[in-house]
Every structure is written in structure tokens, then in C-alpha cells.
Chain A
Amino acid sequence: MKSRSSNRRNFLKLGIAAGATALIASGGNLISAIASTENKETGEKIKLLTPEGKLVEVDKGHMCCQPASNLEAREGLPDKKMVMVVDLAKCRNARKCLEGCQKMHFLPPHMEWIKFYLMRDSEEMSPYWFPKPCLHCNNPPCVKVCPVGATFKRTDGIVLIDNDRCIGCKFCMAACPYSSRVFNWEEPKMDKSRKPGTYSPETSTPPKLGTVSKCDFCPDMVRKGELPSCVTSCPNGVYYYGDKNEDAVTNGTETVRFSELLETRAAYRFMEELGTEPSVYYLPAVDRAFEYQVGFEGLSEEEIALYKNEARITE
């Protein structure tokens, strides 16, 4: 029987592997989780592909899932470039993505990492719903201005916040043109029935008083080869998430070539003119699955009025 340490050493020898296949249904570049040494062996093996094209079996326990330490979380997942494609034609403002997100990240009800807008550029045009997570810009204005490097851009394209380092100056919030960031103005009111794990910038939980937080693109889930909660909780498959380097994105039910999707559906990035180079792509609301009015369901009079005013809808 191999000792745990030698197992780990062998494992490290594999180096950075990509294109792995797992025993269970989907597989992926799970190898990045090796940084955490605390993981227990589970006995369950999964297959990984080495750069030389050899398949090797490793224990699933090595893959997940002690949360990455604050320093480990600064390294991106190797060889990945996470992207999201949002299909506006399918969004009806159901807000299930937000519910899933808030549950997963132990967020108080008003803390919204995904925001919903009713877009209408001019009065001749028709309104459409526009969900907006953090856009994880490749040229992030928020990261530039951080005085202590508490928010950072990783090689895999994800912009994270280290809530143990953040001093709460809110400069990033002022700098973000997309209002993606929120602040813990008071001691976060958490759902006490569930217990969040130990803090990691990758899980962003538990939230911390006096610091900034935002959508984190769920790198902890990516490490496990699982989709973020917003993607899986969307009833209409609006969100496609994936690795640009693999040229594939999925909304949980269908997997498509990222490049093809952008090409055939004439994707665009929000406010490209700002030069922020977002990692989130939008598919125009062509041939909509829903009337925009459906999105008013369950909203208060006040909210509806606000949306209508914003989209200049007069009835």
C-alpha cells in the first residue's frame, strides 16, 4: 500500500494536466486542486490526463475539496480561462439564479451579487431583461485601484477578493463601472441553520464585516468540476459557463462550442467601449422566449414602477 505522501508526490509528478476525464459522467481539469494537502483519500479514483497523453488514476480526495488558502486562491486554476455567456433571449427575470447564489454564499437577502435590469436603449426599441453578475473584466478597474492587493485578477480570468486583507476603503466600489460590488455595512446576518465552511477567497463565505464582496465566479465549484449555483438554478438555461481554453460552455443541459455560440448568436460584451474587456458575453435578446412583462411577476408595485420608469415604459 502506498503511503499518503508518496501518493501525493506521484501525483505532483503529473505536473499540470489538462483534458482529464473522470469516472463519473463529466470530467475536466480537476488537477488544480492538488495545492490543498489536507484532503483525505476517499478511495474513489478518477482518471486524469497527463500532458503526454497518459491516463492516470488518482484519488478523488486529492481533487476536492478543502477550500484554497488565501495565498493559493491568488493563483488561477492552471490552463483555464473562465467565461460566461448569458442568453438574454431566455431570461424572464425569474431571479432563481440570485436565490441560488445567495443560498450558496450565505448572503443576507438584500446583498445581491447578480443584479437585474430592464434594458431599453431607446423608446423605439423593445425592453428586455438583463441579469448581470460580476463581469470579471480582463482589464479590471477595481483591481487597479486596490491599495493593498486585496482584490486581484487570476490567470484563469477570475477576479477575487481576499476578505482577510481588504481594508474596506471602497475604492474598488467607486471604480467599478458596473456596480458589481457590495459592502458588508454591518455584521453579516447569516442563515444560522447552515454552517459555512472555513473562509477562502474562492468560496467568499462567510462574509466579513467592513469588507467588499461580489460575485466570485465560483472557482471552488470549478475545482470540483461543478457548475456555479446561478447556472444550475436558472430554470431557463440562461447562463452558459465554461473554460474558454476548452472552447466549451454549458448551461447544465447543453454543452456548446464557445466560439460557435459567439459567432452564430452575435454575442457582445456589455459596455465594451469602457475598455474593461469583460469575461461575460451577452447574446442579444433575439426571438425571445418570454414577453418582458412576465418578468414583473412577484415584484412589488414599487419595483415594477422603477423598472418601467427605467425602461421608459408608459402605459
Chain B
Amino acid sequence: MNEEEKSLQNLLAYKPHLETISKKGIALIVFLLLVILFGVVCLYTQVTEGHVVTGMRDNVVWGLYIVNFIFFIGISYAGALISGILHLLRVPWRTPIIRMAEMITVISTMIGPSYILLCIGRLDRLPNLLLFGRIQSPIIWDVIAITTYLSGSIIFLYLAMIRDMALLRDNPVKTAKWRNPVYRFLAVRYKDTTKQKELLNVSTDLLSIVIIPLAILVHSVLAWIFGMTLRPGWHSTIFAPYFVVAAVYSGTGVLIMVMWIFRKVYHLEAQITKIHFNYLGIIMIVLGALYGYFTFSEYLTSWYGSIKWDMEVLFRLFSPNQYFLEFVFAVFIGVLGPIIIVTVPRFRNINTIAFAAVIAVIALWVKRYLIIIPTLESPLLPIHDLRPEYVHYSATWVEWGLTFAGIAMFILLFYLFSKFVPIIPVVRSGEEKDYSRLRKVVFEKQMKKVINENKKSGTIVTGIMILLILASSHYAMAQDDAKIQTVLKLEYFHADSVQKLSATLRAKVEGRYRPLANMEINFNFSQNSKETSMGNALTNEKGNVTILIPDDIISTGGDKGIYSFDASFSGKDNYDKATANTTMKPLRLEMSFFQKDQEKMVSLKAFENGKDNEWVPVENLEVQLYVPRTFSLLKVGQASITNGIASLAFPTSIPGNQMGYLTIVAKVEENSLYGNVEASGTINWGKPLPPLKIIKRGLGDTNAPLWMVYTLIVLLSLVWFHYMYVIFTVFRIRHLGKS
């Protein structure tokens, strides 16, 4: 039998699966659609009500979704590495399993990223990733890497399908005839000419070379989402290779599971043989051992170093009432189980290897859970939100619903795809001659018709968690019936030739004086025991009200040069009335600057009204020196004026503006005789502000460091150049088919 006949025979064997669908198949599709529909309900709930419907909270900000994300991206490895490496090494037994591996890659790379979308609080703002994307963020790395990886995987899957498409074009399906034009289109006029064959082989080789490092990069980038944070259990250099190994391990496991299922359901016993299970089983346990080694290395390093925070995460993993069981399962059973099953000949058969794969896959899912949740539950600072859902993560029905919906989607896509394209490549290319020798069962007859119903059925149990949110109670303070004591303070201010009165009203509430706003304050000026009203005004939110003292009051001369003012609050609501008074004697405060022996000196002069209404030097007066800052005045010195004059050194190293200018304010404060008087001036005695250093490109800036930009451009153009070349080749194949 030559190659061509063999291919045709293979196709005829598979064709019933393409042309018909069993009742069980329809039932499966309906069931899967129901699960997906439930997932849609969950998604709707999450979008409309917010992420509060999930178990995620401020500490465990990511939950099942990110676990599923890592899981699906992890299993996508099956295609990339298994098919890529097996293809490149020309491993003879690869053909029947290679398409399944590639399909796992494509489908899980489509489903995986949707889980990261579920972690996003505002799906409506997704375009921001394109509008404002920053390549410093590992999330953007992931977006770029995964889209590139998915594109490559689809091209790779398609390349490997062209020969089958050509065969299907030449042998059209009898039912569902609408498909035939699709097959014809996808077959790109492939006629297996020498030139076409060569082009196709070269492109496939090229792409499998590109896809391997790309796959490693994708999973490294995924690990770096966690590795780049300063969190115990995540911030580890081993993370990228660790994720890569764990991913291939779980990917191989899923591939074995898929092989087992299709072998049973489609009766592919003749094509998928024990050899495939044995070889893949061995690959799987080698990876499992590597994964175990990485895990051991990771935990041993943290435990030995025993940094406080690392120990906290380890404590959670080792505590029987926390994650110990999961830890034992994910690390010990998940590694040793498959190894024992596959290495001991007595245990080793197709079913046990598939079982070992199930253990590995579930263990790896649990391991991802253990990577994410315990670390997030162990922030560097303790959690103080006492609501239980803030302390301990537990996934809600919404998260479980969407998890199962994802798995259902995976199965559904796989099933539908297997109804469209042979799940096992039907066309054997020349280099796989050895394959027939390896087979123990020779393919002789057409496939038996599916008669026996498979009695196995599975039930999916959904765990539903109901979280009670405890409403906090507020305690209202009982109001006192008695009058609330109030205090009024009246001060006189004189600055920049403006004289004013400032009154502040406070009430004693709960033992503290708090400002009273919107209260009316009356101001009076008294002279020779005669009161003149100066009007009234409302307090502001700080309880303060300021009025200017009119010139006609100043010109009265007061009582022998002393002015008396008072303010009153007549009480309102529960607030008691209050009064305050102040007296003032006009003071002239002057400030000047001079330099003496390199020293910067401030000279202060103060005069008061003498007997004959002339200005005479003040004998004794305390003056404070300030520099205004953003919120308040910074005290820089004080001086005692004697006989009307004082001078003091201005401190160096007080910052000014860019040119060193600053304002200096001299103040007489709350003086019983003069009130508050100030004088100010500006001078360039400050320390000039150093010019702002702007780093334009950095991890925290809008623009990325140049090396990052260049690396990204180089990597992306390398990969996409190959994609483009391969796509161009496909067009050439099509063109060559014309003649």
C-alpha cells in the first residue's frame, strides 16, 4: 500500500465522524452549552453588580480566574513544545497526536486570556490597553506575547492541516455539504507537487523553530506578572523556568487525557496505541520530576533563608487547617503519583497512564491555586479588615460557574473542531515511514460503527458559597440638652498697613473645642465708655470672621492712644452666648536687611505713639521672624527689641524659589499692648531651588526605557517576520496550484 492509498484509507475511516453526529454527541453539546449559558449568567452578574459577587477582596485581589488563566496558558504548552519539538526531531510516532496537541494550544490560548479579562473591574475600558498601553507593565508583555503566540499557533495548526484539507477537497463529505467549499478554500490548491511539498515542509519547520522559544517566553512573561512584584512566594528568580516546566508538565497531562478520550470515543485504538501513551507518559514524568525539583528548590530556599514573610507563606502551606492537604496533593502526589504509575511496569497501561495524567493536571491546577492565594493572603502588613471574606479567600458560585464554563467551552470547541477536521492527521508525509513498523496493531478494516453506549457519565458538582456581609453599626452620640459652652476669641492684626479684627468662635463638643460656622458676631469699638457698633458678620467654616478697622475709628485716637474693641455672640440654637474683648496700641514695625561680614542680618525697628502723638522707640518688645511656607509660617528666629531696635542673623540654608528669593515676615504676636503686628519684605537670601531633574524614561514613567523598546521591537519583528514569510509561502503554494 503506498502513501496515498494509506491516507485515503485513513480519511475514509474518520469520515463518519465528520459526516454524522451521534445522539450522545448532541446531548453533550447541549449540556456544554447549558454550562456555558450558566457562565454567561455569572458574567452578567459580575458585570452588573461589580466584583463584589466574587470571593476576591482587597488582599486576595485575584482568585480562581488567574488560577485558570495560568492553567489554560500552561496546557497550551502541549501543542507548542510537544508538537514543535517532536516535529523538529522527526520523532516517528508523533503524527497521530500532533494535531490534538496543536488544538489544545489554540483552544486553550483562546480561553486562557478570557480569564484575565474576568479579573478586570472595568471591561468597558479595555481599549485603554491599546490607547495608553505601557510596555513597562508585565500585563502588556502578556497581551503582546499571548496574541503573538496565539497567531503563531493558529498558523502552525493550519499548516499541518493543509494536506488533510486537500484530501477532503478531493473526497468531499456527503452530509453537511456547506463545508466542502470551506475545505476547498483552506486547501489552497495544494496538489502535493514537489515544489508545494517543499514549501510546506520548510514553513512548518520554520514555524516550529519559532514557536518553541516563543512558548517559553509566553510562559515566562506570565510568571513575571507575579515575579515582578515584591511579594513573598512570588518575587523569585526561579519563577519563569518554574512556570515553563510546570506548564509543559500539565500540557502533556492534558494531551494524554485528550488522547485517551478520543481513542475511546472515536475508537482510534489502532492509531493511538500504547506506545504513544508510554512515550508521552515518560515525557510527562521527566517533566514531573523537573517540576518537583524546582518546587523543592523553591521551598527549600525560602525555608532555609527563613525571611519573615516567606515563612508566613510557608506556614500557611504547612498548616493542617490551611493549605496542607492541597500542598501534599499538589507537590507530593502530583509528582510522585505519576512517576510511580508510569515507571513501575506492572502499573503501566493506557488507562493508568491516563489516570496519572489526570492526577498531574489536577495537581497542577491546585499548585497554581497555592501559588496565588496563600501569597495574596499573606501581605507584608497584617490584614485588619475583620470581615471574613477579606481575610480568607473562598471562591463564590460566580467564579466556579465561570471556571466550569471555561472548561465546557474547551471541550465544546474541541468536540466541534473534531467534527470539522480529522482529529488525527490523515495524510502521512513521506518522512514518517517508520511509523507503520512501530504500530503493533495494523490498521486493516474500516472503523466499526459506534454501537455500544458508553455507560460512564460524570457529574459536575458546583460548590456554592454564600457569604454574609456583616453590616457595621454606627453609634449615634446622644445630644446634650444643656447649653453648649462656646468660646469667642478676638484678636487685632496689623499687617501691610491693613488693620483688622479677627474673631474666632468655638464650641466645646465631646470635650474638644470645634469651630462654629455661620454664626453672627457683633463687633464694637468703645471710647470713653461709649460703644460704637462696627457691624456684624458671619463666621466661616473655621469659625473665623475678620473685619477691617475703618480709618475713622483709627483717627479717633482712642482712649489716650489705646483702642478697645469687643465682639459678642448672642447664642444660637443650643449654643451659649459668648463675648470677648481686646485692646490695642498702634505700633509701627519696620524691617530692613543688610549684610555684615558675610552674615545676612535682619534689622528690626519698632515705634509707638508718644505723649505728643509722635512716634517714639519702643523700649522692650519680642519679635518673631518667619518665612511663609505652603501651609504655614516657619519660624526662623526671634529678637528682643530694646530701645526701638534689634538685629539678628538670618539663618542660611532656608530654601527660597529658583532664584533664591523668599519672603521674611517679622511679627509681634498676641502682645497685650500692641496686639498682632507684622512687617514683611522679600530678599534673595534663600537657598535657590535646584532645577527639577526629570527622568523621561523609566519603569514608572510614561515612556519605557529604550532597551525595553528595542528588545520588544527586535523580538516582535523577528517573530512576525517569520509569520509573514509563512503566510507568504501559503500564498505561493496557492499560486503554484494554479498550473
Contacts and interface: CB of A to CB of B under 8 A. Distances in A.
B62 interface: yes
B270 interface: no
Contact of A167 (B126, B663, B686): B126
A166 B125 contact: yes
Contacts of B635: 255
A102 to B, nearest CB: 12
B683 interface: yes
A302 B391 CA distance: 13
A116 B384 contact: yes
Interface stretch (B44-52, B95-103, B480-488): B44-52
A185 interface: yes
Nearest to A257: B634
A36 interface: no
Contact of A242 (B132, B546, B630, B654): B630
Contacts of B137: 144-147, 171
A187 interface: yes
Nearest to A29: B630
Contacts of B657: 17-19, 49, 51, 79
A187 B700 contact: no
Interface in A88-126: 109-110, 112, 115-117
B27 interface: no
Interface in A15-48: 16-29
B58 A28 contact: no
Contact of A182 (B58, B386, B658): B58
Given A178-B381, A179-B379, A250-B629, A187 B50 contact: yes
B659 A117 contact: no
Interface in A196-252: 209-212, 222, 225-227, 235, 241-243, 245-248, 250, 252
Contacts of A303: 384, 386
Nearest to A116: B384
Interface string B456-480: 0000000000000000101000000
B630 A210 contact: no
A28 B582 CA distance: 30
B658 A79 contact: yes
Interface stretch (A3-11, A60-68, A135-143, A282-290): A135-143
B655 A178 contact: no
B59 A179 contact: yes
A96 B143 CA distance: 44
B313 interface: no
A280 B384 CA distance: 21
A294 interface: no
Interface in A46-85: 49-55, 79-80
Contact of B381 (A24, A117, A185, A245): A117
A65 to B, nearest CB: 14
A262 interface: no
Contacts of A225: 630-631
A235 B136 contact: no
Contacts of A27: 628, 663
B628 A18 contact: no
B556 interface: no
A155 B701 CA distance: 11
Contact of A211 (B122, B132, B702): B122
Contacts of A24: 546
Interface string A142-169: 0111111110110100000000011111
A183 B631 contact: no
Contact of B62 (A79, A174, A245, A302): A174
B524 interface: no
B739 interface: no
Nearest to B687: A247
A12 interface: no
A175 interface: yes
A183 B689 contact: no
Nearest to B653: A247
B134 interface: yes
B128 A143 contact: no
A313 interface: no
Contact of B628 (A28, A152, A212, A245): A28
Contact of A52 (B56, B512, B659, B694): B659
Nearest to B475: A298
Interface in B331-379: 376, 379
Given A147-B129, A306-B384, A186 B119 contact: no
The 7 closest A-B pairs by CB, nearest first: A168-B121, A210-B121, A18-B657, A28-B630, A53-B661, A186-B52, A170-B61
12 contacts: A19-B686, A26-B630, A28-B629, A51-B661, A53-B683, A116-B384, A148-B125, A166-B121, A168-B125, A174-B231, A179-B59, A179-B379
Given A28-B630, A178-B380, 19 more contacts: A16-B658, A19-B682, A21-B680, A49-B663, A144-B700, A148-B134, A150-B128, A165-B128, A168-B125, A177-B229, A179-B379, A183-B51, A183-B57, A211-B121, A211-B122, A242-B629, A242-B631, A247-B654, A255-B629
